[in-house]
Amino acid sequence: MYSGTLRMRIGKLFALSMLTVTVFAVVLGAEVLIPQTRIFTDRSDAIKRVDAFGTILMVSQQVAGLRAPYISPIFQEGAATQAQIDVTTKAAKAAEASFESARRALLVLDDGAAMAENLDRAARRLKDITTAADRAMSVPLVGRDSVAIKGFLPAVAEVITNIEPIMNRLEGRVVDADSSLAALLSLARTAQDLRVSAGNRAATLSPALSARRPL
């Protein structure tokens, strides 16, 4: 029962990490990590923490994924189209849902309340960011709030950064239970870091694009 349940949690992490490093994840999982999961000392806690780590990783990916649907409408000359609004609304709701799932996963842990509080702060910050972006893109570029436009990408990166300590804490506790899982968690984090770094490079386009805004 334990082995099957933990493998399911591990599988979720693989699904995330394989977005960027498919071959390494498959080899690592098949040959090293999955057989090692049987040696967990605190099985119930280990399952919960691996599950929580996966949900927090998903939050980070959902937040990072908000950049793609928002970047065009907030920088384009005209107001956002209904199709663009629909896409950004869907992405924002998906991010909100991921925060809620992660919160539930954290609250079953003995030290989860403090982490959930930090997660809630990040969720509120993200809500403020998307609300400002939604308001800005609803009007033509000439009438938009320059702070909301120029600050969108850095603000999203800030939310991702604020989520990192939660993942660090969960990762540390899982590795304390079984050090053989360190490689898997590191792999998942590396894949996520690559995605975030790519988005941060895209943020350098913000000043150049916003320079078209009339004074």
* pLDDT, tens digit only, all 215 positions of the chain: 555 555 555 555 544 444 443 334 433 443 444 444 444 445 677 778 888 888 998 899 899 989 999 999 999 999 999 999 999 999 999 999 999 999 999 999 989 999 999 999 999 999 999 999 999 999 999 999 888 899 999 999 999 999 999 999 988 888 777 676 777 777 777 766 666 665 555 555 544 444 444 33
In a domain, 215, yes or no: no
Tell me, what's the pLDDT at 212?
44
In a domain, 154, yes or no: yes
Token pair of 147 as six digits: 């702070």
Tell me, what's the pLDDT at 154?
93
Total domain count for the chain?
A: 1
Mention every residue, 6+ apart, whose C-beta is less than 8 A from residue 41: 177, 178
Tell me, what's the pLDDT at 70?
95
In a domain, 183, yes or no: yes
In a domain, 92, yes or no: yes
Q: Whole domain around residue 147: which residue ranges?
A: 2-210
Dist. CA 93–CA 153, nearest whole Å? 18
Tell me, what's the pLDDT at 211?
41
Dist. CA 101–CA 116, nearest whole Å? 11
Helix and strand totals (H; E) in the chain: 9, 0
Tell me, what's the pLDDT at 185?
75
Tell me, what's the pLDDT at 195?
62
Distances (CA, A) of 33 to 1, 21, 112: 18, 16, 26
- Count the Cβ atoms, other than its own, within 10 Å of residue 128: 12
Is the dihedral angle over the CA atoms 207, 210, 214, 215 positive or is it negative?
negative
Tell me, what's the pLDDT at 29?
42
Token pair of 42 as six digits: 């605190």
Distances (CA, A) of 4 to 7, 9, 34, 47, 176: 5, 9, 10, 10, 21
Mention every residue, 6+ apart, whose C-beta is less than 8 A from residue 135: 145, 148
Dist. CA 17–CA 26, nearest whole Å? 10
In a domain, 134, yes or no: yes
In a domain, 203, yes or no: yes
Three-class secondary structure of residue 78 per DSSP? coil
Dist. CA 162–CA 25, nearest whole Å? 26
In a domain, 46, yes or no: yes
In a domain, 126, yes or no: yes
Mention every residue, 6+ apart, whose C-beta is less than 8 A from residue 176: none
